Structure 1
Amino acid sequence: MSEATYPPLDVLKPVADGLWIVDSGPLRALGIPLPVRMTVIRLRDGSIWLHSPTRYDPQLHQDIAALGPIRHMVAPNIAHWTFLKEWQTHCPDALTWGAPNLRQRGQVRRSGLRIDRVLDDAAPPEWAADLRQVVVPGGLSFREVAFFHGASRTLILTDLVLNLEPAKMPALLRPLLRLARMTTPDGQPPPYLRLVIRLRRRAAVQAVSELLALEPERVVFAHGLWFMRDGTAHLRRSLRWLGAFG
């Protein structure tokens, strides 16, 4: 187990009525040990929606299935898809939804991952009553689909915020992570991703403005300490690098 993670790992943790998270990892990206997180929602029809599935674990699968049938599995951007193939094997009746441009990636095609539906700005009928969604664009085919769970006022992101706790990181990396502004209390995505999103800054600002207008109370994301309260204020500060939110 790595100090970078948020144990207990690979277990359901309740956040709000009908919403859970699963902490897992660590993953390594550019030498950084990253905690990673899945979000689980029970929709009004009783079915289960998995956002950015983490590594497959039989007991975790059993515990999630006890909440309801797993019907939807979401790959919310072009990076968060690598664990989906095994979940597909064990959940053959679930639909896999992918971010725009994910299906075209060579790695994805070679992996044999099945993308059943492509996400866009309009929530599909399958979950429109529970979730709003907004596509945040960037250059180089980057897209991240954000989701808002109205019942709990929870915004679900993936890599748009990266909020690492320095104490959980290797000592030699801490100064670099602070310099890159990827640490608490209001961490930002890595510099390369900020650059990619700035390639479509105007459209990204418009999308993020829509997210802020939802006034989320909490913001869950894939890597680091998520915003358990005062989500809108934290999010505004985390996204100040876009130059439009103060």
Structure 2
Amino acid sequence: MSEATYPPLDVLKPVADGVWIVDSGPLRALGIPLPVRMTVIRLRDGSIWLHSPTRYEPRLHRDIAALGPIRHLVAPNIAHWTYLKAWQDRCPEALTWAAPNLRQRGQVRRSGLRIDRVLEDRPPPDWAADLRQTVVPGGLSFREVGFFHGASRTLILTDLVLNLEPAKMPVLLRPLLRLARMTTPHGQPPPYLRLVIKLRRRMAADAAAQLVALKPDRVIFAHGLWFAGDATARLRHSLRWLGNFN
């Protein structure tokens, strides 16, 4: 399963000024070995913002802390919270921010995860100078919050785009993943997630249009090959299941 990932794993990789990624995994979801990714932002005040933290590693923690104090741990949708507790326990001064409805999940309550703040469409004062954010709604309590780092023109998503490379996937899964439109060059979320989001299609399409209108230079997301170039056009194509965006 390690072939599914993007080594080296659990290490900081610079992307742009003040932006890093950490590749990790794989995780198995619906029988698919998924690479996973965290995004790290250094805010203007020097503090560090962790988007969708991946598995905790002491060395990784030390390397991130060397960039600045870790002040924000972000769970950007109702699925990406598994590793937050480990980071929370070791970063006691950090605030934990969560997508709407995550706090209500029974599994989350039983885990002992502390949620300090709920994310909204308007960025909080803590990072309003650095990041814009947009809540993409869906049915069944699904919400995903997208973030735009203006200084680097980087859009940070989670599961709204899933762009798996067939060569990294088990041979028997490749035809199914292509049929489900989850593969490069313009991957989409799994069919079940597309259906869930389409339960709020009008609102979700409005939010997706806002993301495309940002015209990002790059789009980072949690699973698969992120968009390092021609990002706006590729994002528009990946979101075509929600509508045609100019």
- TM-score class, shorter-chain normalisation, is over 0.9
CA-CA distance at 1:245 after TM superposition: 3.1
Q: In 2, distance between residues paired with 1:238 and 1:165? A: 14
Contact 1:12-1:60 within 8 A present in 2 as well: yes
1:93 is aligned with what amino acid? E
1:190 to 2:190 alignment? yes
1:71 to 2:50 alignment? no
Query: Cα deviation per residue 1:54-91 (whole Å; 9 max; x = unaligned)?
Result: 00000000000000000000000000000000001100
Q: For residue 173 of structure 1, what is the aligned residue in structure 2?
A: 173
CA-CA distance at 1:211 after TM superposition: 0.7
Deviation larger for 72-81 or 207-216: 207-216
Question: Secondary structure of the equivalent of 1:163?
Answer: coil
Question: Secondary structure of the equivalent of 2:4?
Answer: coil
Contact 2:72-2:95 within 8 A present in 1 as well: yes
Q: For residue 48 of structure 1, what is the aligned residue in structure 2?
A: 48
- What do you get for the CA RMSD once the two structures are aligned? 0.8
Question: Secondary structure of the equivalent of 1:186?
Answer: coil
Normalising by the residue count of structure 2, what TM-score does the alignment of the two structures yield? 0.99
Q: In 2, distance between residues paired with 1:129 and 1:108? A: 30
Q: For residue 101 of structure 1, what is the aligned residue in structure 2?
A: 101
Q: For residue 220 of structure 2, what is the aligned residue in structure 1?
A: 220
Query: Cα deviation per residue 1:175-211 (whole Å; 9 max; x = unaligned)?
Result: 0000000000000000000000000000001101111
Q: In 1, distance between residues paired with 2:166 and 2:237? A: 18
Unaligned runs of 5+ in 1: none
Question: Secondary structure of the equivalent of 2:241?
Answer: helix
1:224 is aligned with what amino acid? G
Contact 2:72-2:94 within 8 A present in 1 as well: yes
Q: In 2, distance between residues paired with 1:19 and 1:233? A: 22
1:202 to 2:205 alignment? no
Contact 2:212-2:245 within 8 A present in 1 as well: no
Identity fraction in percent: 85
Residue correspondences, number = 246
Q: For residue 17 of structure 2, what is the aligned residue in structure 1?
A: 17
Q: In 1, distance between residues paired with 2:211 and 2:162? A: 17
Q: In 1, distance between residues paired with 2:195 and 2:6? A: 29
Contact 2:236-2:244 within 8 A present in 1 as well: no
Q: In 2, distance between residues paired with 1:214 and 1:177? A: 29
Unaligned runs of 5+ in 2: none
Normalising by the residue count of structure 1, what TM-score does the alignment of the two structures yield? 0.99
